[in-house]
Amino acid sequence: MRDLFQEELVAINSDISQMAELVGKAINKATESLLFADREIAERVIESDILINDLASVLDERCTTLIAKQQPVAAEIRSILGSMRIATSMERMGDLAAHVAKSARLRYPARAVPDELVETFTTLGHLAEELTQQLSKLVTNPDVTLAQIIQKADDRVDAIHRELFRIVLSPDWQHGVEAAVDVTLLSRYYERFADHAVSIARRIVHVLTGEPYIDTVLH
Amino acid sequence: MRDLFQEELVAINSDISQMAELVGKAINKATESLLFADREIAERVIESDILINDLASVLDERCTTLIAKQQPVAAEIRSILGSMRIATSMERMGDLAAHVAKSARLRYPARAVPDELVETFTTLGHLAEELTQQLSKLVTNPDVTLAQIIQKADDRVDAIHRELFRIVLSPDWQHGVEAAVDVTLLSRYYERFADHAVSIARRIVHVLTGEPYIDTVLH
């Protein structure tokens, strides 16, 4: 009974790690579709989101069954519930990647982001991908230091998000309302993406160390 | 043991109902702060979000303990997990109301929304509040018809959200980039608020009827 239980926990962690990889690939490709106004890549990101959603459903069911059949103790229940929430956050990160791709598709054949902001969005894309890579490591090898690295990457995303607002709202903005709206929403997608990564990292550290869990996503 | 369990389930539903009321009040007051550029009301909404977050934490703990101590059967576990997700969605709705209030506060003493859109945001506010009232009823008295009413209100919110995009991006838009960015984000907050309401309604119907749960929030 206990062996089966441990096997299931390992399988759940492996599913989460796989989700992190898919989400990382999704945000990488979404950013590519955005920066190169590549409709084909955008379509593929949007389609592949179904896969991430399906994985989240499977994981959810697996966790529910585990609680129902194996009667885990309180600490184990907390850990399983944590995994379910991590899956939900990752699903949402996949959706946000799909939102970026949808913005790219909407403006095709034009690019949704003006020339002067290509570098900024390239950085956002790199940071978002880095976050998922760190998350994937954190899931298979929980480590407080990695969680801190994730927090720092999120701080950088937040700083860029604020900077983009400043640029869009400055009197020097030459690209009109549509580009301003696009940049605002896109920036928010990356910001929320990073928030979810931090939320997941905190959840893992919470299970790992018993430190209180504070959810930044919700603020 | 079973009596205690039933009592706890009733208490959980009562907590959820209370959250729905608080969230309804929050979006009502947030809309008021937005439309009347009322900083004091905005501050109160932002502060009261802590209360909603705390309620969600208490509910979460209550549900976790219930699973751990009472060893519920599979159907009961699914129902409790559903309640936990509903609490998470409601917490997020409270955050979105706070986001609306923060937009109002940011532009004070000016109003974040131009005159011509006051009526539209009044409607969005009414719809959002109506959604929470229906949700509160649905929690205490599950009913598929109510869930359909919630879906319809969400359809109206979505239609207004699309219409606002059209207005902001039209060549007739006279209010500049800042107002466009504000309206875009505000409209998105209401849209996400309504999405969460539908997600909660579907979850309740899912537990009620066994119909498959399809999460719109995540799309």
- Split at pLDDT 50, 70, 90, the class of A175 is very high
Is A216 a residue whose pLDDT tops 80? no
Domain contains A167 = yes
Domain contains A219 = no
Q: What is the CATH number of the domain that holds B135?
A: 1.20.58.220
Q: Choosing among B54, B177, B189, which should be mutated to test the A contact, i.e. which has the most A CBs within 10 A?
A: B177
- Split at pLDDT 50, 70, 90, the class of A173 is very high
Residue matched to tokens 């997020």? B92
Task: Kindly report, residue by residue over B36-58, the tens digit of the pLDDT.
Answer: 999 999 999 999 999 999 999 99
- The answer to whether the CB atoms of A218 and B95 lie below 8 A apart is yes
The tally of domains found in chain B comes to: 1
Domain contains A218 = no
Domain contains A216 = no
Using a 10 angstrom Cβ sphere, with 0-12 exposed, 13-18 middle and 19 or more buried, the burial of residue B47 is: exposed
Name the residue facing A177 among B88, B169, B185 (closest C-beta): B169
Is A184 a residue whose pLDDT tops 80? yes
pLDDT at B174: 96
Domain contains A156 = yes
Residues A1-39 as b or e (16 or more Cβ within 10 Å = b): eeeebeebbeebeebbbbbbebbbbbbbbbbbbbbebbe
Is A206 a residue whose pLDDT tops 90? no
**A58 Cα to chain B: minimum distance (Å):** 13
Domain contains B217 = no
Across the range B196-205, mean pLDDT stands at 92
pLDDT at B203: 87
Name the residue facing B181 among A65, A81, A180 (closest C-beta): A180
Name the residue facing A91 among B64, B92, B218 (closest C-beta): B218
Q: How far is CA B188 from the centre of its chain?
A: 12
pLDDT at B218: 41
Domain contains B34 = yes
Domain contains A217 = no
- The mean pLDDT value of chain B amounts to 92
Is A6 a residue whose pLDDT tops 90? no
What is the Cα–Cα distance from B129 to B143, expressed in whole angstroms?
19
Residue A94's domain comprises 2-209
- Split at pLDDT 50, 70, 90, the class of A213 is low
CB of B71 less than 8 A from some CB of A: yes
pLDDT at B1: 58
Across the range B29-35, mean pLDDT stands at 98
Q: Choosing among B53, B61, B67, which should be mutated to test the A contact, i.e. which has the most A CBs within 10 A?
A: B67
Name the residue facing B68 among A74, A84, A88 (closest C-beta): A74
- The answer to whether the CB atoms of B68 and A71 lie below 8 A apart is no
Q: What are the structure tokens assigned to A78, written together?
A: 């907390």
User: What's the ipTM?
Assistant: 0.90
- The answer to whether the CB atoms of B180 and A181 lie below 8 A apart is yes
Task: Kindly report, residue by residue over B70-95, the tens digit of the pLDDT.
Answer: 889 988 999 899 999 999 999 999 99
**Residue A217: strand, helix, or coil:** coil
